[in-house]
Amino acid sequence: GAVVSQHPSRVICKSGTSVKIECRSLDFQATTMFWYRQFPKQSLMLMATSNEGSKATYEQGVEKDKFLINHASLTLSTLTVTSAHPEDSSFYICSAKKGTGPSSGNTIYFGEGSWLTVV
């Protein structure tokens, strides 16, 4: 089956620095990828929708200047947390949509997620 890879799976960074998380579709092209965030003991919430070759669409309340999303190719989307703070510590997970037809014909695959700790 299709595989979505995230890297790194765990990262610790210092407060004030930036950290990049990669999401790759390994055996299919994904024109659309999604980024989610999960705070402790809370559900996963959509942060943004990443479309290849265009600007990402951010959900309400998500700072686009803080969470930079780049979808430069059909197999790679990156999430950069800029000027990270301890409150950004969270579980970040991406998903990739295989197919470009009507929604019912697509399948979405999830990466394994990335744990970010800002110290």
Partner 1 sequence: KQEVTQIPAALSVPEGENLVLNCSFTDSAIYNLQWFRQDPGKGLTSLLLIQSSQREQTSGRLNASLDKSSGRSTLYIAASQPGDSATYLCAVTPGNQFYFGTGTSLTVIP
Interacting residues with partner 1 between 68 and 87 (CB under 8 A): none
Cα distance between residue 30 and residue 41, in whole Å: 30
Q: Which residues contact 7 (CB under 8 A, 6 or more apart)?
A: 21, 22, 24, 114
# binding residues, partner 1 (CB under 8 A): 25
Does 95 contact partner 1 by CB under 8 A?
yes
Which residue from 28, 66, 110, 117 is in contact with partner 1, where contact means CB under 8 A?
110
Q: What gap in Å lies between CA 91 and CA 95, rounded to an integer?
A: 13
Residue 54 interacting with partner 1 (CB under 8 A): no
Q: Which residue from 9, 15, 17, 73 is in contact with partner 1, where contact means CB under 8 A?
A: 9
**CA 86 to CA 100: how far, in whole Å?**
37
Q: Which residues contact 12 (CB under 8 A, 6 or more apart)?
A: 116, 117, 118, 119
- The reply on whether position 103 binds partner 1 by CB under 8 A is yes
User: Which tokens sit at 20?
Assistant: 């990049």
User: What is the C-alpha separation between 109 and 67, in angstroms, rounded?
Assistant: 22
13-52 binders of partner 1 (CB under 8 A): 32, 34, 36, 41-46, 49
**Residue 3 engages partner 1 in binding (rule: CB under 8 A):** no
Interaction site with partner 1 (CB under 8 A): 6, 9, 32, 34, 36, 41-46, 49, 93, 95, 97, 102-104, 106, 108, 110-113, 115
